[in-house]
Amino acid sequence: YIIPLPEIIAEIINTKSSSKKVMEKYFQTLKILGPELKILLQIPCSRIAEHAGGELAEAVERLRQRRVMITPGYDGEYGVIKVFRPGEAQNYAQKSSLFHDESPLTRPTTYPLLSFNIHQVLEQKVLYSAIPDSSTEQKAAYPITDELQKAAIAHDQGPAVVIAGPGSGKTYVLTERIARLISQNIAPSEKILAITFTTRAAQEMRQRLMSHPSLHQQASSIPISTIHALGLQILREIPPYSSFRLISEAEKIKIIQSFPQAQNQSSAKIANYISLLKNHALNFRFNEVFQEIANQYEFSLHNNQLMDYEDLILLPLNLLKENDQICSQIQNRYRFILVDEFQDVNPAQYDFLKIITHPQDNNLFVIGDPLQSIYGFRGAYPSIFETFLQDFPQSTTYRLGKSYRCGDKILKAAYELIGSENGLEGVPEKGKVNIVQHATDRSEAEFIARSIDATTGGTRFFAYDSGVAQAQAETPLSEFAILCRTTRQFPAIITALNNHGLPYQTAQAGNLLDSELLAEIILYLRKIIDNNKKNNGHVENLLKNYFVQNLPEKNVAKDDQKIFMEIARDFGNDVKGFIDFIDLNAPTGLYAHKENAVQLLTLHAAKGLEFEHVFISGCEEGIIPYSLFENQEADTEEEKRLLFVGMTRAKKTLSLNYADSRRIFHQNMNLPPSHFLSAISPTNAIRTKSNLPEKSEGQQLSFF
C-alpha cells in the first residue's frame, strides 16, 4: 500500500484530501514534477524539496523509509495512516526543518508500511531473451529428484521417449541426463548434441549445464543448438550452400509478389503453402496455381543463391540423403542426440533428426508432451510420438508424473478440458480456477485490470475494490499474463490497463526483430560484406558507427542499442555470423523484455512460459475454437490443446473469461461461451458473473 499524494498534501496543510486547496496543490505538483508514482517512489527528495517544498520532501522520504504512524481501525471506523504527528507538518513548514525546533521532539511510535518493498516496485531490468523468462524449472533448484525423473535421467543407451507434461521438469531431466553421460564417462561432451526450438531454450540449457557441479569446464564444449541453427551450420560447411544467403520472411513475400500469377492471390497464403510443402506437412493440400508459383519461387532462390527458413532443414536433409560420405561424417560427429519440445517437430525435421542419428547406436532421446502440440499450421502433429515408437520399436518410454508448476485444481481443470484421465499430479493445496461471465469485452477488460491492480497490493491509486481478494504481499507485474486467441482482442484490454496505470508489454511491441530498424541494420551490414573487403571490422564497432550516424534521425532507444550491442559482442569480426543469428531468430523473436510489466500475449506466444496469475480472454465459441468466418474451419482438437497450453501457464490462479457481447474485426458479435468450458466440472472451477459498471472514456484521470 502507498499513501496517495493528495492525502499527504492534505495532512501537510491540515485539511480534507478532497478540498479545492489540496487538489490545486496536487495538480501543481504533478505539473512540476511529473507522474504521481514517480514522485512517491523515484524522484530524489532534494528535487522535491526544491520544487514543491521541504515538508513534502520530508513526507515522501518517511514514506520510502517506511516511517509511518498507523492508528488501527475499530468497529465502524477506518484505520488511519499518517506520516506526521499532529502539528508536526505545520511546524516543519514554518521552521524549514524539523531539526531546528528548540525543544526536542518525542518521536512517536512508527510502523512499516504493510508488505511494501520499494526496491521491488522500482526494479525494472531489461533482459535480452526470447520472451519473459518465467520458467519454474529455472527458478526451482529441484533439490529432490522424483523417481520417474530419476528413471529417465538414468536411461543409458538406445532410443527413448519421455512424456513430460507442463511443469514436470523436462529441462531438468535433459540437463541431468547430459551431465550423467559425461560424468560417468559414457560419452565425451563434444559427442552429445542437445537440440531445442528456440534460442531462449538453448541459452537456458547452456546456463544450467555451465553451473552444474559435476561438469566444470566440460559444459562449454557441449553442442547445444536450435534445429535450424544446426541445419545452417551443416550448410555453411558444404559448397555451394556455404555462400547462400538466408532471406527474411519479408523478402520471401516480396519475391512471391514479383510473379504475375501471384498478383490476384494472397501472398501470405502462398507463403504458407510453400512452408507446408517444404515441411512435408501431413495437412498439406495441393493447389495447382500455388504450386506453379512455388516452382518459380524455388527457381528464383536457387538462381540468386538464396535460401529461406524452411530450407535450413530441407536442404541439409536432401544433401545427407544424396551423399553417404557427408551423412556418415555428421552421424559420427554426434553419438547421443537429445531433443526438447518433440511435439513441435514437423515431418521434415523428424526425417532430419533420424538421418543425423548414428544407425548403430540409435541414441535418440526425445522429450515433450503431445497434449501441447499446437503448431499444426507449421506441419507439427501430436501423433509424432507414435510415429517415433513405430520407427524405433526398441525404444523405452518414460512418463513424468508430477508438475512442479501448476496448482492441483488448475491441472485437473486443464485435463478435464482435454479429456485425459492420465494427468499429472499438481502442487497440492494450490491453484484456483474461476470461469467469469461478463456483459461486454470492455467489462471483461476492466475486470482483468482491476483484479491485477488489487493483487499487486495497491501501487496504483485509482484502482477500485474489484471484489477480488487482495494478496498478502505485493506481486510483481511480470507474474501476470493476459492471454488472447488473437491480437484483435488487445485494444479493449490495453485501454483498461492504461486506465489503471498498469504498465504492459505485448510480444509484438518487444520484438526487436520485427522492426524497420533491424531491416536497415541488416541491409547496412550486408553492403559491407558485399564490398568484398577481407576485414569487415568488429560487429560491435560497425553497429556503434551505424547508431552514431543514424541515432538523431531514427530515435533508437538506448535499451534497444544496448541489446544489439550485447548480441554483437559475441560475434567479434564475424559479420556474416551475426546476420545469420538475427535471421535465424526472426521467426521466433528476440525481446527487450520489461520485467515490471503485465504480459499481454497470444496463446501461441505464451507457450513455454509461466506466471503466477493468468487471465484468458475471449473464451467464446468462434474465438476459442477460432472459427469466426464462414470459410474458416477450426481444428477443434488443436484449439483444445491450445487452450490447455494457456491454462497450464498458471501457477496460482487462472481466470477463464467470456463476454456476452464483443466488438472484434469492426463488428459487434454476440457469441455463446466456448463449449470447451462445459468440460470443466464445478469441483475444479468456480463460475461467477462480474457486475462491474463500464467506465466511460475520460472518466478517470491517468497519472501517466
Closest C-alpha to 421, from 687, 148, 679, 146? 679
Tell if the pTM clears 0.75, that is, is over it. Answer: no
> Could you check whether the bond before residue 4 is cis, i.e. omega within 30 degrees of 0?
no
- Predicted local distance difference test score (pLDDT) of residue 73: 54
Residue 115 is placed in which grid cell?
508488505
Hey, what domains does the chain have and what are their CATH numbers? 5-93 (no CATH), 143-239+311-400 (3.40.50.300), 247-304 (no CATH), 410-459+474-509+593-689 (3.40.50.300), 516-586 (no CATH)
Is residue 428 within 8 Å of residue 408, measured between CB atoms? yes
Cα→Cα distances 412→60, 254, 307, 399, 428, Å: 47, 47, 45, 18, 11
CB 605, CB 653: distance < 8 Å: no
Q: How far is CA 396 from CA 28, 117, 126, 336, 566, in A?
A: 71, 50, 42, 15, 42
Task: Name the residue type at position 460.
Answer: R
pLDDT the model gives residue 232? 93
Residues in Cβ contact with 95 at an 8 Å cutoff, skipping those fewer than 6 apart: 101
Helical (H) or strand (E) element with 598 = strand 598-602
Is-contact 660 690, C-beta < 8 A? no
CB 462 within 8 A of CB 451: no
Which residue, 410, 357, 437, 341, is CA-closest to 672?
437
Q: How far apart are the first and last CA of the chain?
A: 19
Predicted local confidence at residue 405, as pLDDT: 94
Helix or strand (DSSP H, E) at 410: helix 408-418
Distance CA 102, CA 100 (A): 6
Helix (H/G/I), strand (E/B), else coil: 102 = coil
Distance CA 442, CA 19 (A): 32
- Which residue, chain included where needed, has cell 551443416? 234
Positive or negative, the Cα torsion across 372, 491, 505, 514?
positive
The grid coordinates of residue 554 equal 531514427
Residues counted in the chain? 704
Tell me how crowded residue 122 is: count the other CB atoms within 10 A of its CB. 13
Cis amide prior to 625 (ω within 30 degrees): yes
Helix, strand, or coil (residue 695): coil
Question: pLDDT at position 143, please?
Answer: 45
Amino acid in the structure at residue 572: G
Secondary structure of residue 306 in the 3-state scheme: strand
Q: What does the pLDDT read at residue 188?
A: 95
Closest CA to 255 of 274, 236, 241: 274
Pairing of strands 667-669, 432-440: unpaired
Residue 392's Cβ-side half-sphere holds a number of Cα atoms within 13 Å equal to: 25
What's the rounded Cα separation, in Å, for the pair 22 and 557?
38
Taken in order 593, 598, 604, 606, the sign of the CA dihedral is positive
Kindly tell me the burial class for residue 521, based on how many C-beta atoms sit within 10 Å of its own C-beta (0-12, 13-18, 19 or more).
Answer: buried
For residues 542 and 569, the answer to whether their CB atoms sit within 8 Å is no
Cβ distance 435 to 677 under 8 Å?
yes
Residue 690 exposed, middle or buried by CB count within 10 Å (0-12, 13-18, 19+): buried
pLDDT number for residue 702: 36
| Residues in the chain, pLDDT under 50 | 75-76, 94-143, 459-473, 509-510, 696-704
Asked if 413 contacts 433 with a C-beta cutoff of 8 angstroms, the reply is yes
Which grid coordinates are listed for 203?
541459452
Map residue 375 onto helix, strand or coil.
coil
- CB atoms inside a 10 Å sphere around CB 518: 18
Return the residue matching grid coordinates 491454462: 647
